[in-house]
Amino acid sequence: MPTAHNRSQRTTEAMEGLKERCGWCKGSELYENYHDREWGRPVRDERKMFEFLLLETFQAGLSWITVLKKREAFRAVFHQFEITKVANMTEKEIQDALQNADIIRHEAKIRAAITNAQCVLALHGRGTTLVDFFWSYVDGMPIRNAWKELNEIPAKTDLAVQLSKDLKALGFKFIGPTVVYAHMQATGMVNDHLTSCPYYEVGMP
């Protein structure tokens, strides 16, 4: 199995080959850094997994760059994405969040973040974790696609539809198939970098 050093070396070699990043991230340093350092890299840490899930529920109906620009404010409001602390947020904290112009002030989504944290704790009570739950849908290994053009990449898949259905059955909110697929892309469960992107090989076994 390639080491992290070897994967990094492969990425560097690809960069030196003057390949271009996926087109969706162009024009913003924040977006490019996110694409290069996070998007599509397999996430095995539960707090990080929950962070992406929380942020993606707030993205619904908005652009991802809008959420990224407010990421640090979300981090402050939602206790550094510590699941137990989010699950136990008080009504006062909810009302304070609704007055915080640095985040997306959507009451249903704020309450959904708390509900979803409680659902994660319920998973713990069943002997599993959010990470294990998500990765079980791909047998623990990223799905490797081979898209050549951005317009080939789907907004959702049959697997995302099923995962969304199962999450909703567990009580999760604001977790439709499009949100789920975006989560799968972000956390490296699926590799949707274009084959021409220098980061296509990142995170692959």
114 alpha-carbon distance from chain centroid: 17
Q: What is the four-CA torsion angle of 34, 190, 61, 174, rounded to 10 degrees?
A: -120
Indicate if the alpha-carbon torsion angle 6, 182, 162, 166 is positive or negative.
Answer: positive
CATH fold group of domain 4-191: Endonuclease III; domain 1 (1.10.340)
Query: What is the C-alpha separation between 22 and 147, in angstroms, rounded?
Result: 10
| DSSP per-residue codes, 53-105 | HHHHHHHTTS-HHHHHHTHHHHHHHTGGG-HHHHHT--HHHHHHHHT-TTS--
Whole-model pTM: value is: 0.89
| pLDDT band of 61, cuts 50, 70, 90 | confident
The domain limits of the chain are 4-191
Catalytic residue IDs: 34, 56, 64
For residue 61 the two structure tokens come to 């109906």
- Write down the pLDDT at residue 113: 98
Tens of pLDDT, residue by residue over 105-132, are: 999 999 999 999 999 999 999 999 999 9
Q: What is the 3-state secondary structure (H, E, C) of 16-43?
A: HCCCCCCHHHCCCHHHHHHHHHCCCCCC
Instruction: Give me the percent of the chain exceeding a pLDDT of 90.
Output: 85
80 alpha-carbon distance from chain centroid: 15
Tens of pLDDT, residue by residue over 2-39, are: 455 455 445 444 444 457 899 999 989 999 999 999 99
H or E stretch at 122: helix 107-125
